[in-house]
Structure 1
């Protein structure tokens, strides 16, 4: 299930472009304007609920930090658990970590080792606001699988279609973007 063009355009118009942020040449997609527009946020979250209600998910995993906003709300709407995937050093219990490449260096994300131990055969949706080069999402999907769950799909509010992140992530799981940006 995907959104119709009218609804996609409404969501796109609700997202503010910030030119030259965080550095010259980059157009930052600011989702705070979507979040504070009750109609746009409701449209988005109801769409995600309709899309995923038949997936028999046990958990939603959100990537630090904007994935928490969408993931926790969707988990509540679907009646499933929420699991945060955080930057290294932010989780208080025993963790499993995964490094990924950045433009200039590496970063690392972590998940609790027992994040999905409360159910058998956990089925997890990974969610975040944006996929660009896909390094963080690829690492997060790997973490879900490493701790014994199945990452059944990765969902992003926006996908930068001109970058290779989605195709790389498809090596691990299905990928859905609500809005594609060329």
Structure 2
């Protein structure tokens, strides 16, 4: 394990039985509260953004906003929020996706991405991959190309990586930490 991985792991708190019994929630708020750890995370993700040739960073609501915006600034790139449906004013592009019990929809402003953009998707956790998959489909529908996906932590036992690989079209999936 690298020094940065040890630092990041030491600042992630396990919360048992949240949000429901049997689930161990990975709480990143202690990491965000530590300027050394948050800075190291931002730097590591900014390097990935630069290495992938990204021109924009997309952050997934809500913790992807917290991570993606400083990454975009550090890497000298634009930041595009991917919001839940109905949260953005003006013309939007939407992408529906299935959840375990129902469905949801995410949106971006219609004019935020175009054919010259290479987009890095940033989020805190890759779990089942549903939201990330929908964001990749939305990026493609906007006419942009995927530069990759970068997450703080991948929950390997939920197999989200397998769900995303067909949508990545060969672009990399980076997880700074993998659990399970």
Confirm or deny a common fold (TM above 0.5).
yes
SS in 2 for 1:114: coil
> How far off its partner does 1:35 sit?
0.2
Mapped pair 1:54 → 2:65: no
- Unmatched 5+ residue regions in structure 2? none
Q: Select the residue among 25, 40, 45 that pairs with 1:43.
A: 40
SS in 1 for 2:158: coil
> How far off its partner does 1:53 sit?
2.0
- Indicate the residue corresponding to 2:88 in structure 1: 91
Work out the CA distance in 1 between the residues paired with 2:152 and 2:6. Answer: 13
Q: TM-score, normalised by structure 1?
A: 0.93
Q: Select the residue among 97, 101, 116 that pairs with 1:100.
A: 97
- Indicate the residue corresponding to 1:157 in structure 2: 152
SS in 2 for 1:51: helix
Higher helix share: 2
Q: Select the residue among 10, 13, 25 that pairs with 1:13.
A: 10
- Indicate the residue corresponding to 1:180 in structure 2: 178
Two-structure CA RMSD over aligned residues (Å): 1.2
Work out the CA distance in 2 between the residues paired with 1:175 and 1:167. Answer: 11
Q: TM-score, normalised by structure 2?
A: 0.94
Pairs aligned (count):
177
Work out the CA distance in 2 between the residues paired with 1:148 and 1:97. Answer: 13
Work out the CA distance in 2 between the residues paired with 1:66 and 1:57. Answer: 20
Work out the CA distance in 2 between the residues paired with 1:108 and 1:145. Answer: 16
> How far off its partner does 1:7 sit?
2.1
> How far off its partner does 1:168 sit?
1.0
